[in-house]
Amino acid sequence: MYSFTNDYSEGAHPRILEALVQTNNQQTAGYGTDQYCKAASDKLKELIDKQDVDVHFIPGGTHTNLILISSALKAHQAVMAVDSGHIFVHETGAIEATGHKVLTRPHNNGKLSLEMIESMMAEHTDEHMVQPKMVYISQTTEFGTVYTLQEIKEISAYCKEHDLFFFIDGARLGSALVVEGAPSLKEMAMYSDAFYIGGTKMGALFGECLVLVNDELKKDFRYHIKQKGAMFAKGRLLGVQFLTLFNDDLYFEIGKYENNVAKILRDGLVNAGYSFYVDSPSNQLFPILPNQLIKKLESEFSFNIMDKIDENHTVIRLVTSFATPASKAHQFVELL
């Protein structure tokens, strides 16, 4: 039984594991003040060709979202997202638990459009309602779709004009960065106020690299990391992992690999005549399959069952990771 259930079924990319083993016996300063976190941060600044950002390493994605959002908003302010947004659906009310409402509009292929933002802004006009202050999107989206550079630029311009923070959740950023038309890492830093470079779902054991671009978000940020329980004593674990990911383009290599293996699946599905719930160029696929075929596939593979389309058809989700062998994708295609 092979699993296409998600991109966090395995441990870490071999190079990351090796780096952890090699540095294991060293003594370093605690809480992310070590040389590895410094080096990873420096390397990232080089990659985005921008020195005036603050870089923080946080153990997980929900944790990163709740810390960034709660530290940026005042008590009466809210964040805008799509109704399929991770913060709205799948974080057990983590944002609300810090006191903030998540405003939503129904998603369009997982994406938030300018019209949706405008509509939420138009609705919230006075002190009897929360004040929208941040736009949250994720790249790739929950449906594996990817915002184009043009879309990112437009949202960015709107946010600047309306004094909104623009925050991009990059749990699967590596898979997006290598898609044609998507903003580059450098452009992420040019057009957002904050974004994070996901590690957990991109070959690290765990960890997300949060980049604070807007000066307003930087002050005292380590207090928020500590208060929410995210300041690892052995913070160098995060530094070592991200330094490895940033060196020799490993991060991009993993993204490409995941997408390539996903492409084997996608091509196979298309060739077999199946369509998709949402068409995605990244490492998550949402094919619509006959229930009987699903049953057959389940004898050799595991994956998530999503929505029922009709009596006989269902959407499933297939996810590839840094560790998915191409052979398994081929094997899956053969079963179709």
For its own copies, give the closer residue by CB, 24 or 292.
24
Binding residues for its own copies restricted to 238-297, rule: CB under 8 A? none
Binding residues for its own copies restricted to 295-334, rule: CB under 8 A? 323
What single letter denotes the amino acid at residue 306?
Answer: M
For its own copies, give the closer residue by CB, 61 or 174.
61
> What does each C-alpha distance from 330 to 136, 256, 272, 284, 327 come to in angstroms?
36, 17, 13, 16, 5
Q: Does 55 bind its own copies (CB under 8 A)?
A: no
For its own copies, give the closer residue by CB, 74 or 161.
74
Rounded Cα gap, residues 239 and 237, in angstroms: 6
Question: Which candidate, 63, 312, 75, places its Cα nearest to that of 200?
Answer: 63
Q: How far is the CB of 226 from its own copies (least distance, A)?
A: 4
Cα Rg for the chain, rounded, in angstroms? 20
Phi, psi of 3 (to 5 degrees): -105, 125
Residue 274 CB neighbour total at 10 angstroms: 16
Binding residues for its own copies restricted to 166-205, rule: CB under 8 A? 200-201, 205
Choose the binding region for its own copies from 29-37, 107-115, 280-288, 293-301 (rule: CB under 8 A): 29-37
Rounded Cα gap, residues 113 and 104, in angstroms: 11
Binding residues for its own copies restricted to 105-144, rule: CB under 8 A? 127-131
- Binds its own copies (CB under 8 A): choice among 52, 93, 115, 249: 93
Q: How far is the CB of 125 from its own copies (least distance, A)?
A: 12
Choose the binding region for its own copies from 142-150, 224-232, 269-277, 282-290 (rule: CB under 8 A): 224-232
For its own copies, give the closer residue by CB, 8 or 158.
8
- Binds its own copies (CB under 8 A): choice among 54, 91, 151, 193: 91
Size of the site for its own copies (CB under 8 A): 75
Q: Does 220 bind its own copies (CB under 8 A)?
A: yes
For its own copies, give the closer residue by CB, 186 or 219.
219
Q: How many residues does the chain have?
A: 336
Under 8 Å between Cβ of 13 and 204: yes
Q: How far is the CB of 107 from its own copies (least distance, A)?
A: 15
Number of Cα atoms under 13 Å in the Cβ half of residue 15: 16
Rounded Cα gap, residues 67 and 318, in angstroms: 30
> What does each C-alpha distance from 300 to 4, 219, 326 come to in angstroms?
11, 51, 15
Q: Does 162 bind its own copies (CB under 8 A)?
A: no
> What does each C-alpha distance from 316 to 22, 287, 303 come to in angstroms?
40, 6, 7
Q: How far is the CB of 8 from its own copies (least distance, A)?
A: 4
Residue 320 CB neighbour total at 10 angstroms: 27
- Binds its own copies (CB under 8 A): choice among 89, 149, 190, 288: 89
- Binds its own copies (CB under 8 A): choice among 15, 60, 109, 256: 60
- Binds its own copies (CB under 8 A): choice among 46, 76, 249, 290: 76
Given CA atoms 295, 296, 301, 304 in this order, what sign does their dihedral have? negative
